[in-house]
Structure 1
Amino acid sequence: MPSRTREQLDLLLRTVVSDVIGTEPDELHGATSLVDDFGVDSLELMEIGSRLETALGLCVPVGDLTAADTLGEAVDLLETRLAEPR
């Protein structure tokens, strides 16, 4: 699988999140907190994680997503996961 830039990961994450929570991708930014700003619950996080796993071909545990306080931290997580040997 070709590597993705941080910008591509950011766009993918914002697109997936917006699809799940019913908002527009441009309403989301690096400092957005899904829990604090949008009230995202664990089921929505599971759906987001599942969609990211499908799109990226890697495991994204819900615990990792809940540990990321902001979308920027979630992009950091995805970058790290993609850099790990499989």
Structure 2
Amino acid sequence: MPTREELALTVRTVISDVLGTEPDEVHERTSLLDDYGIDSLELMEIGARLERTLKVRIELQDLTAAQNVGHAIDLLQSRLAVPQ
């Protein structure tokens, strides 16, 4: 299982790839909706890429429930800790 720092880098990189930004522009407190106006297709693309990269199942409601990037990282970390 990756460390939280490794997971955070992966999440920030995937988000920045989908949104066309730099990973260092995406922070723990970044709200994808408020800060980037992300739409459902972009959110689904982020989820699909994270599933492939992390080899974990991510429910759409988990992604939509995440209030910011840090919350999404915490959610993914707890998902990775549970055997699939």
Structure 1: gaps spanning 5 or more residues: none
Distance in structure 1 (CA, Å) of the matches to 2:27 and 2:61: 21
Instruction: Give the corresponding residue for 1:30.
Output: 28
Instruction: Give the corresponding residue for 1:18.
Output: 16
Q: Secondary structure at the match of 2:63?
A: helix
> Which TM-score applies when normalising by structure 1?
0.95
Structure 2: gaps spanning 5 or more residues: none
Distance in structure 2 (CA, Å) of the matches to 1:45 and 1:62: 8
Distance in structure 1 (CA, Å) of the matches to 2:71 and 2:20: 21
Which amino acid is the alignment partner of residue 55 of structure 2?
G
> Which TM-score applies when normalising by structure 2?
0.97
Shift of 1:26: 0.4
CA deviations over 1:43-71 (Å, ceiling 9, x no partner) = 00000000000001111112111100100
Instruction: Give the corresponding residue for 1:53.
Output: 51
Shift of 1:40: 0.5
**Aligned CA-pair RMSD:** 0.6
Q: 4+ runs of 1 displaced by more than 2 Å?
A: none
